[in-house]
Amino acid sequence: AQSVTQLDSQVPVFEEAPVELRCNYSSSVSVYLFWYVQYPNQGLQLLLKYLSGSTLVESINGFEAEFNKSQTSFHLRKPSVHISDTAEYFCAVRRTGNQFYFGTGTSLTVIP
């Protein structure tokens, strides 16, 4: 069964415009959620994570994601994107047993 769904495979957006990358996960008793970013020809880097507590989590480069239990979503947002944000973004869920499941990824292209 698919644990993580990223509905948008490609998202083009103009520089300084806002963006939202969607992520939905299969409901589970307990879940930890992550967003990873993969810049061209590089490995995956952790962008932000939700473990518990405040449902809004932020990264150091202006991205934020909100855990919504009722909608089983963990969408990633940024109010104003930069050219350097062009990358592939992966949503992931960690379940019991220390197992991770990744979505298929969303390719964000920032247009000058």
Partner 1 sequence: EAGVAQSPRYKIIEKRQSVAFWCNPISGHATLYWYQQILGQGPKLLIQFQNNGVVDDSQLPKDRFSAERLKGVDSTLKIQPAKLEDSAVYLCASSSLAGGLYEQFFGPGTRLTVL
| Residues at the interface with partner 1 (CB under 8 A) | 6, 32, 34, 36, 42-46, 49, 51, 90, 92, 94, 97-105
Instruction: Report, in Å, the least distance between residue 75 CB and partner 1.
Output: 17
Instruction: Report, in Å, the least distance between residue 91 CB and partner 1.
Output: 9
Using CA atoms, how far apart are residues 86 and 38, in angstroms rounded to an integer? 9
Do 94 and 34 contact (CB within 8 A), yes or no?
yes
3-class DSSP assignment, residue 84:
helix
Q: Toward partner 1, which CB reaches closer, 3 or 85?
A: 3
